[in-house]
Structure 1
Amino acid sequence: MIKEFDIYVISDSVGDTAEQVARAAAEQYKNADYEIKKHPYVESRTKIDDILDPIDNRNSIVVYTIVNQETAQYLEDKCQKKGFPFIDIMGPCLSTFTDFIGQEPARESGVIRKLDEDYFKRVEAVEFAVKYDDGKDPRGILKADIVLIGVSRSSKTPLSMYLAHKNYKVVNIPLVKGAKVPDQVYEAPRKKVIGLTIDPSDLIEIRRERIRVLGLDSGVDYVSIDKIIEELDYAEKIMRRVGCPVIDMTKKAVEEAANLIIDIINDLN
């Protein structure tokens, strides 16, 4: 009976899946001690040789997730020559999926790693949108992928968050009459800046609802139609000076507007 052994986890990606399966299995044997030696991102025969050739402990088992058939076969042949038992974690799963779906797998290595990278990019974009929301720090303007400018309640923040989930770093800047527009708005590449406008009658309804929710006085200038028209006129002048594309948010869903923005950005790039 083996008392101690090594588990070599070899993967063309991070190797977490193979490690977790190997550990779960090894923990079932209470009278044996083991050590896991993980080798991620193994995509060549040379790397396999580098890992397996130096091993002189006969009490070793190889657990692997390698989707490239030739590389996986080379690993198995190498294990057989060395006398190591080996376990293919991904192979049986792919085989069953192939029979079920009726098509061959792409066998692309590092797919999960790519998904993880997308996830972290999305998290970074969301954190960026929160940090630079509503003009909190104009220094974010020159770092952003997209800069949204417009009056209050023209959907700047909802758009910023939606676009962040599409991996875009977004800054939104409120245009308030009497308040200085950050210099960075004029310095940013025109292809990054998008103006948002909205019909005055729609905007006043949105603002009234906001006032009601906050429990504030409904007689404030914030919901005055004359003041709203002044604000929109002022914002339009700024947008003309910037020379940016303008999207009318009247009756427009955030998803629809976001797709328009993405199309504009992509066309200009």
Structure 2
Amino acid sequence: MKKLKFFIVSDSVGETAELVAKAAASQFRQDLDTVSMKRFSHIEEKSQLEEIAWLAEQQQAVIVYTLVRSDMRDALIAYCGRRDVQCIDLLGPIMHSIEHVLDERPTEEPGLVRQLDEDYFRKIEAIEFAVKYDDGRDPRGVLNADIVLVGISRTSKTPLSQYLALQRFKVANVPLVPEVEPPAELYEIDPDKCFGLVISPEILNSIRKERLIALGLKDDASYAKVDRIEQEIIHFNKVVNKIGCTVIDVSNRAVEETANVIISKMNSRKFERIRKDLQR
């Protein structure tokens, strides 16, 4: 049985071309041990393409390629044509069709899909982090977080953590209760990455009553009483003053608005640090 040889050529990693080649080869060789795949990744020079075409001729290999630059695709087609080497362009036809539909030129910048993939995995990692270190479950997360949220119960710490995670921030949140000493890690972190969430007693009173009713409980429990809430806020103020963190009033703010305030402050501080470093 004749062995089938593929040369996978890409200006990025080449995973896409290899998967497509394997899918096609499986229609002829169900035993993929009889199929050879050699990958040529991160190809940037036309001289490299000429050498690959020569090698393909010597080994009677089929070239399957994903090259985003049109001049590189044209060069490989020319080199393969001179040597009677079969070559299959996976990106060119699709890009031509999209260009025609949009009436726009492609950027022709290699590796953009991989950048998008990395961005996706950063987002997933941040979401998993927020879930793992939600509601003070493990105070060790405070030390590794990009952002730390502190506040009394029902100040939107969890939904805010998840929203910020979608923006690729690793967030830990810690509830503050007068009867429980805050974790020591809170006093070890950079105060600039910590944000205290406060809310008016009246609004929180209404929110907590609704919460109790939703749980099938009476709404006159201590948890929802204004004097208890004020006691918690006094404790909250002591803790955030000791940390030295920024305090945000979330009384009349949607989660998105609070997130934007935090992100804006984080970016401002980042640029300020860069400016100071440049002045040194």
TM-score, normalised via structure 2 length: 0.86
**Is 1:189 matched up with 2:186?**
no
Tell me which amino acid in the other structure corresponds to 2:14: G
Q: Which moved more, 1:187-196 or 1:41-50?
A: 41-50
What is the aligned partner in structure 1 of residue 101 from structure 2?
Answer: 100
Structure 2 matches for 1:146-185, cutoff 5 A? 146-185=147-186
- The answer (yes or no) to whether the contact 1:200–1:225 under 8 Å persists in 2 is yes
Secondary structure in 1 aligned to 2:38? strand
Tell me which amino acid in the other structure corresponds to 1:41: H
What is the aligned partner in structure 1 of residue 11 from structure 2?
Answer: 12
Give the alignment's Cα RMSD to 1 decimal: 2.4
Q: Which moved more, 1:95-104 or 1:67-76?
A: 67-76
Structure 2 matches for 1:214-225, cutoff 5 A? 214-225=215-226
Describe the superposition over 1:19-66 as per-residue Cα deviations: whole angstroms up to 9, x where unpaired. Answer: 343334344447996433334433344654675554465431111111
- The answer (yes or no) to whether the contact 1:146–1:171 under 8 Å persists in 2 is yes
Mapped partners of 2:95, 2:27: distance in 1: 26
Mapped partners of 1:56, 1:72: distance in 2: 18
Mapped partners of 1:191, 1:52: distance in 2: 56
What is the aligned partner in structure 2 of residue 110 from structure 1?
Answer: 111
**Is 1:132 matched up with 2:150?**
no
Structure 2 matches for 1:62-101, cutoff 5 A? 62-101=63-102
Secondary structure in 2 aligned to 1:222? helix
CA spacing shift, 1:47–1:201, aligned 2, 3 Å: farther
Secondary structure in 1 aligned to 2:39? strand
Mapped partners of 2:54, 2:203: distance in 1: 72
Q: CA deviation at 1:86?
A: 0.8
Structure 2 residue ranges without an equivalent (≥5): 271-280
Structure 2 matches for 1:52-71, cutoff 5 A? 54-55=55-56, 57-71=58-72
Secondary structure in 1 aligned to 2:150? strand
Q: Which moved more, 1:232-241 or 1:213-222?
A: 213-222
Tell me which amino acid in the other structure corresponds to 1:108: E
Mapped partners of 1:101, 1:253: distance in 2: 37
Tell me which amino acid in the other structure corresponds to 1:59: Q
What is the aligned partner in structure 1 of residue 21 from structure 2?
Answer: 22
Q: How many residues in Structure 1 have an aligned counterpart in Structure 2?
A: 268
CA spacing shift, 1:104–1:235, aligned 2, 3 Å: same
Q: Which moved more, 1:65-74 or 1:196-205?
A: 65-74
Tell me which amino acid in the other structure corresponds to 1:224: K
Q: CA deviation at 1:167?
A: 0.5
Mapped partners of 1:245, 1:30: distance in 2: 64
Q: Percent identity?
A: 42
- The answer (yes or no) to whether the contact 2:70–2:92 under 8 Å persists in 1 is no
Mapped partners of 2:120, 2:81: distance in 1: 38
Describe the superposition over 1:153-190 as per-residue Cα deviations: whole angstroms up to 9, x where unpaired. Answer: 10001011111111100010111112111222122112
TM-score, normalised via structure 1 length: 0.89
- The answer (yes or no) to whether the contact 1:79–1:85 under 8 Å persists in 2 is yes
Mapped partners of 1:29, 1:46: distance in 2: 32
Describe the superposition over 1:161-220 as per-residue Cα deviations: whole angstroms up to 9, x where unpaired. Answer: 111111100010111112111222122112101110111111122212222222334332
Q: Which moved more, 1:67-76 or 1:249-258?
A: 67-76
Mapped partners of 2:188, 2:46: distance in 1: 51
Secondary structure in 1 aligned to 2:214? helix
**Is 1:260 matched up with 2:269?**
no
CA spacing shift, 1:30–1:265, aligned 2, 3 Å: closer
Tell me which amino acid in the other structure corresponds to 2:145: A
- The answer (yes or no) to whether the contact 1:3–1:31 under 8 Å persists in 2 is no
Q: Which moved more, 1:169-178 or 1:37-46?
A: 37-46
Mapped partners of 1:118, 1:30: distance in 2: 36
